[in-house]
Chain A
Amino acid sequence: MSEPADASMMNIVPMSTRRSRQLDEEFADLFAAAYPQLVRTVWFVIHDRAAAEEVAQDAFTELFRDWSRLRDFDRPDLWVRRVAIRKAQREAARRTRRVVLEQSSATVPLVEDGVTLPDPELIAAIQALPAKQRAIVVLFYLEDRPMAEVADLVGCSTSTGFVHLHHARKRLAAALGEEVDSDVD
């Protein structure tokens, strides 16, 4: 006696395939939730939209390679962010142009990557920072992360992270003509 068609279909889909589909769906959910902001964050470090997308995709590829294991981490989104930030720093270091702050301020682009910048002087000043300081500024101010987490993401101690942030604030204040006499807000 033959089985109903539906039951038969269930039986011929191997357990491993169903498991694989479930993993893929979980990964797709994380990708949809985290990828867009990750691209934006990396953009602030590299200042190139295509390159930012490439870096974010590379980081997610690393995550997907080992997804069956990494999905059990408390924060796989932090894992992929750490990979992306470190790749972004490397990419930024490759592209580093020794731009003197005053020079960059004098030739500030109002539109970058097709985006009209609301504060072009600020973006130009951030672009003139060393790559690690750029990443720290973006993670600290834009993503509002505690310094311990920022330091972990960029690969330095918390203390060194604060020192980098301090120097970055000074340089940004000097470039923007702002005072830097208060504690970090």
Chain B
Amino acid sequence: MSIDQRIRDGLRATNDRLPAPDLTRPLAKVTTAGRPTQRRTLAVALAAAVAAVLVIVGVIAVTHGGDDAPQPAGPSTTISTSAPATDGSGLTSPLVAPESLLDVRELGFRVEPVTDFDRLGWSIDRDGQEVTLSWEGVPAARVRVVVRYQGAPEVDDEFSYDGAAIDWSRGEEVAIHGATGTYYSDPAFESSGEFAAYLKWQYAPDSWAYVSATSWRDDPGPERLRSALQAIAEAVAPGGEAVRLPVRSGTFPPSLPRPATLSGVSWMREGLATAALEFAGVRIEISAAEGEVWGGGAAGGEGRFRVTENQVWLDVDGTTRLISSDDATMFAAYPLTDLKEVLADFTVAPLDDPSRWFDLETALSPDREGLR
């Protein structure tokens, strides 16, 4: 019996033995709890009034300041610093888009420590940079901090949690280090029933930054969510961490997209440690479950391939490697032997020793002299 068959059979047999729950009392409870009442309506109005007062207090409390000198987010030999902003004015210089993502050596911003929030990872694309935070004590809550490059369009519908346009016109004005921004909470978050909230502000001319998160009505609740997003936005400061990955490609056959077409890259530690690279519709992910041994071995080790319609998998050297494409037709255009070769030839560095990780150019430019 295959593992898939055993899982399927075991789940179905167990499912059949689980007793059917009572319907009458739960239905009465659900319809009673979910029915709007005059008291609840009053409470909502009261909460809105309190929120309005908090906004006014927040606006009064902020301070002005800033340095408008452009801050390059492209080539740099400087390794990121975690030192706080010297003037406490937050991020006020625009991040400038690099010519190639391979040029990025460090993030253009960081989030200074905020109680209960820890960094999970980062990502970069052609429009900007993002840091993801976890929220201690609020399981599964994730906070996205996005800083767009100067001149990049504002975030589109993809940024919203339900894929619909964010109606900023219904938001409330806020100030982040003196810069005008908008806070918008969407209590009718259609795709999951969660309570979605977004904050955006213009951190420099023609340059936008965003913080977003979701919440349940009671945990952490809209007011706590709002104050958290405001605190995180105020903690965004110039100068971020080094952009380095614990993976390096060994080969990119000519049949595949060139490394220079890199359109997105991310590094995340959230149950899985995952490095993801996107090129012209092709996505490469190298991951390992936290606690598993990652790396330390040379490229080309013995592994096991698994091929599906639009995926090639390889388990080797403590990692799982995947090439995939949403477009099965396009994916079929690449020779399978080349896809396998790319996966097999990645080198992985130890997770616990970032000094042995690779900057993006080194990680993805195997054809350059001296890099192979």
Contact = CB atoms under 8 A, between A and B. Distances in A.
Contact of B15 (A87, A142, A180, A183): A142
A89 B313 CA distance: 27
Contacts of B192: 82-83, 86, 155
A173 B2 CA distance: 9
Interface stretch (A4-12, A61-69, A102-110): A61-69
Contacts of B193: 59, 62-63, 79-80, 82-83
Nearest to B287: A163
Interface in A139-185: 141-142, 155, 158-160, 162-164, 166-167, 169-173, 176, 178-185
A93 B191 CA distance: 21
A89 B139 CA distance: 8
A94 B8 contact: no
B272 to A, nearest CB: 6
B139 A90 contact: yes
A119 B9 contact: yes
A51 interface: no
Contacts of A40: 15, 18
Interface centre among B31, B34, B289, B311 (most CB of A within 10 A): B34
A61 to B, nearest CB: 4
Interface string B282-294: 0101010100000
B8 A142 contact: yes
B23 A31 contact: yes
B159 to A, nearest CB: 14
A123 B26 contact: no
Given A89-B140, A118-B14, A64 B19 contact: no
A130 B271 contact: yes
Contacts of A60: 26, 30, 34
B23 A36 contact: yes
A133 to B, nearest CB: 8
A46 interface: no
A39 B21 contact: yes
Q: How large is the interface on B (under 10, 10 to 19, 20 to 34, 35 or more residues)?
A: 35 or more
A17 interface: no
Given A43-B18, A62-B34, A184-B308, A176 B6 contact: yes
B61 interface: no
B123 to A, nearest CB: 12
Interface in A1-28: 24, 27-28
B8 A32 contact: no
Interface in B4-52: 4-15, 17-21, 23, 26-27, 29-31, 33-36
A31 B194 contact: no
A159 B304 contact: no
Given A64-B35, A86-B140, A183 B306 contact: yes
B30 A31 contact: yes
A119 B8 CA distance: 11
A117 B14 contact: yes
B315 interface: yes
A183 B307 contact: yes
A132 B193 CA distance: 18
A77 interface: no
Contacts of B194: 83, 86
A166 B308 CA distance: 12
A24 to B, nearest CB: 7
Contacts of B139: 89-91, 93-94
A115 B285 contact: no
A185 B4 contact: yes
Contacts of A166: 313, 320, 322
A36 B20 contact: yes
B324 A159 contact: yes
A172 B7 contact: yes
Interface string B231-274: 00000000000000000000000000000000000000001101
Given A93-B140, A115-B18, A119-B14, A172 B3 contact: yes
27 contacts: A27-B31, A31-B26, A31-B30, A35-B26, A60-B34, A62-B193, A80-B193, A82-B191, A90-B140, A93-B140, A115-B14, A115-B17, A159-B283, A160-B274, A160-B285, A166-B313, A167-B289, A169-B4, A170-B320, A176-B3, A181-B306, A183-B306, A183-B308, A184-B4, A184-B308, A185-B4, A185-B8
Interface of B: 1-15, 17-21, 23, 26-27, 29-31, 33-36, 139-140, 188, 190-194, 216, 219, 271-272, 274, 283, 285, 287, 289, 304, 306-308, 311, 313, 315, 320, 322, 324, 326
Given A93-B140, A158-B326, A179-B2, 20 more contacts: A31-B26, A56-B26, A57-B30, A64-B33, A66-B188, A80-B193, A87-B216, A115-B18, A118-B14, A119-B13, A159-B324, A162-B324, A170-B320, A171-B289, A178-B6, A183-B306, A183-B308, A184-B4, A184-B308, A185-B2
